[in-house]
A = this chain, B = another copy of it.
Amino acid sequence: MDFALSWEQTQLKEAAAGFLAALPSARDLLEGRGTLEDPAVWKRVAEEQGWPAILVPEEAGGFGFGQVELSVVFEEFGRTLTSCPLLGTAFATALLLECGDAQAQERWLGAIAAGEPAAVVWSGISAEEGPFGWTLEGQGVAVDGGMASLLVIVAPQGVFVLPADLADRTRVPHLDPTRPSVGVSVSAVPAERLTVDGLERARMRCESLLASEAVGAAEATLQLAVDYSRVRTQFGKPIGSFQAIQHICADMLLAVESARSAAWYAACAIDAGADDAREAARTAKAMACDALFHCAGQSIQVHGGIGFTWEHDCHLYFKRARSVMDLLGHPREHRAAVAQTLLGDA
C-alpha cells in the first residue's frame, strides 16, 4: 500500500508544473498577453507533453496510462488556472473511451492522441434517427469548445461524435474568465452514435478530473493566503500571527488535504475498476468543489481589500471555484446520489 505519488507520477507532476509555469499565466491572458485558446500552446501540449494521449489506449495510438496520471496533470492545471484547452479534450476522451467501440476509439481517440482538441456538450441537444443515419438538433454549451476540432454530444438518445466545423459556435460570456466556453448550435447535422453504454463511467472520469483540478486551485489559494499573511503587517505584526487568520488558514489546509485524498482515491478506484469508484468520484467532486469554494472565498478575506481587486489573482480562483461547482453536478446533487445508494428512495 502506497497512497502517494510514485516516482514516475512525481516526475509527471514536476514536468507539468514546469511547463505550465513557463506559459503565459492566467493573469497574462486576462490582460491580453497571449490568448486563452492558442493553437501553438495546444500543439506543444499535444506534441511535447502528450497529455491528450494519456488515457488513449495504445491500440488507438495513445499511451494507455491511467486516470491517476491525468489527474496529476490536472492538479497542476488547477493550480495555475491554465485552460489550454485540455479539459474539454479530456472530457471527450473519457466519453469516447467509455462509450466508443474499438472502431470508434481507433478513429476518434486516435485523432485526439494525434493532437486534435475536442470538447463535450453535456446537455441541450437531442438526436433523431432518420433514413440516412442520426442527426442532431439543439443547442448547448461546451467548455473549451472554441478550439475543438471534434465535438462529443451527450443527448438523451445516446452519445454522438461529429467534426466541430459542422456546428455553429459562438463564445459565451462566462463568470470564469480563465476558461472559454462556447455555445454550440446544431440543426439537422449528421453525427456518429457511439454504441457502448458507458456514460456513467465517463461522467465518473470527468468528475474525478474536475476534482483534481479543484484541489490544485484550492491549494494555490491557500498558498496565496499564507504567503500574504506573512508579509502583510498590521498592528505591528504580520497578520499571519493573529489567531483569527491562523485558524482560517488551518481550516483551509484541512479542506485542501482532504479534497486531495478524495481526488487521488477516485482516480485510483477508477483505474482499479473498484466497486466504489462511482461513489468515490462523486465524493471527490463534491468535496473538492466545496473545498475550492471555501478556500477561494477565505483567501479573499485574508487578503482584505487587495483580494477584492481585479489586479490580484484571488478573484480568478474564486470565479473558477463557482464555475466548476455546477459543472457535472453540484455537490448537493452528488450527495443526493450518494444518499440514494445509502438510504434508498426518499
Q: How far is the CB of A227 from chain B (nearest CB, A)?
A: 21
- The residues in A between 214 and 250 inclusive whose CB is less than 8 angstroms from any CB of B are 242-244, 247
> Chain B residues with Cβ under 8 A from A243's Cβ?
242-244
| Copies, count | 2
> Chain B residues with Cβ under 8 A from A244's Cβ?
243-244, 247
Nearest B-chain residue to A247, judged by Cβ: B244
For the complex, give the distance between the alpha carbons of A329 and B48 in Å.
63
For the complex, give the distance between the alpha carbons of A242 and B244 in Å.
9
Nearest B-chain residue to A243, judged by Cβ: B243
Interface string of A239-281 (1 = CB under 8 A from B): 0001110010000000000000000000000000000000000
Q: How far is the CB of A246 from chain B (nearest CB, A)?
A: 9
For the complex, give the distance between the alpha carbons of A120 and B175 in Å.
55
For the complex, give the distance between the alpha carbons of A26 and B144 in Å.
65
> Chain B residues with Cβ under 8 A from A247's Cβ?
244
> Chain B residues with Cβ under 8 A from A242's Cβ?
243
Q: How far is the CB of A304 from chain B (nearest CB, A)?
A: 16
For the complex, give the distance between the alpha carbons of A145 and B242 in Å.
52
Nearest B-chain residue to A245, judged by Cβ: B243
For the complex, give the distance between the alpha carbons of A243 and B247 in Å.
10
Interface string of A146-186 (1 = CB under 8 A from B): 00000000000000000000000000000000000000000
For the complex, give the distance between the alpha carbons of A244 and B247 in Å.
8
Q: How far is the CB of A242 from chain B (nearest CB, A)?
A: 6
For the complex, give the distance between the alpha carbons of A244 and B246 in Å.
10
Closest 4 CB pairs of A and B: A243-B243, A243-B244, A244-B247, A242-B243
A residues adjacent to B (C-beta < 8 A)? 242-244, 247
| Contact sample, A vs B, 5 pairs, CB 8 Å cutoff | A242-B243, A243-B243, A243-B244, A244-B244, A244-B247
